[in-house]
Amino acid sequence: MGTKKNSRRAVAYTGAGGAIAQLAERLLCKQEVTGSIPVGSTLLAFEGSYLWGLRQKIGHDLVLTPGAAVAAQREDGKVLFARRGDDGTWCLPGGAAEVGGSFARTATTELREETGLVVREDDLIPVACFSEADRHTLHYPNGDVAHYFSMCFLVRRWDGEPTPDGIETTDLRFADPTDLPQPFEDSTARAVELLLAYLRTGTFQVA
């Protein structure tokens, strides 16, 4: 009985509807996907990942997912935002942790992959953690449910020039964090609120 049930759930996840959630769950700044779905290397990169393997076993059940987001800030105070390749909304660069990773390693890896900026873990400034269930538990179109626990870092030193990867990110823009580019991703807006609170107070934010 258990084997047949798991098999049905795996098929449901890897079907056409599952492809939507597979792409969405690769990104930290999450939202139900309503735009066009990039194909090719994006989905292939997700297949075989830790989260992909977990979904094959548990289907659509709730998954607790750690991850990190990064605010790269210039001397003029503007922060780098990325335009998502799936639904066109703007967000902070970031992503979910992989096996053997850490919050810091996830932050540096995702920033490099999505923006081309290279930072050292020593240059990451932890500013906030956010995990409120009501804002960070998301229900995807195919039935997947995920609750995200994220660490937000600030960085002011890096190597390289901002360059979108053309898959997860299609555009990059430095903008005033009090005047966000639109449309802006809802759950990431909470991270920006916490970032601004940290910049005002110098106190690590918990939400």
Does residue 41 carry a pLDDT above 60? no
93 touches 169 (CB < 8 A): yes
Give the total number of structural domains in the chain: 1
Residues paired with residue 95 on neighbouring β-strands, in sequence order: 27, 68
Q: What percent of the chain has pLDDT over 70?
A: 78
Provide the sign of the torsion angle of the four alpha carbons 144, 141, 51, 184, taken in this order. Answer: negative
Q: How confident is residue 193, by pLDDT bands cut at 50, 70 and 90?
A: very high
Task: Quote the pLDDT of residue 26.
Answer: 45
Q: CB count, 10 Å around CB of 42?
A: 20
Task: Quote the pLDDT of residue 186.
Answer: 83
* Residue carrying structure tokens 């047949």: 4
What is the rounded average pLDDT of the residues 16-33? 40
Encode pLDDT of 118-130 as tens digits: 999 999 999 999 9
Domain range for 114 is 2-206
172 touches 115 (CB < 8 A): yes
Q: How confident is residue 103, by pLDDT bands cut at 50, 70 and 90?
A: very high
What is the rounded average pLDDT of the residues 28-47? 40
For the purposes of burial, counting CB atoms within 10 Å of the CB of 161, is it exposed (0-12), middle (13-18) or buried (19 or more)? Answer: exposed
CATH number at residue 67: 3.90.79.10
* pTM given for the model: 0.78
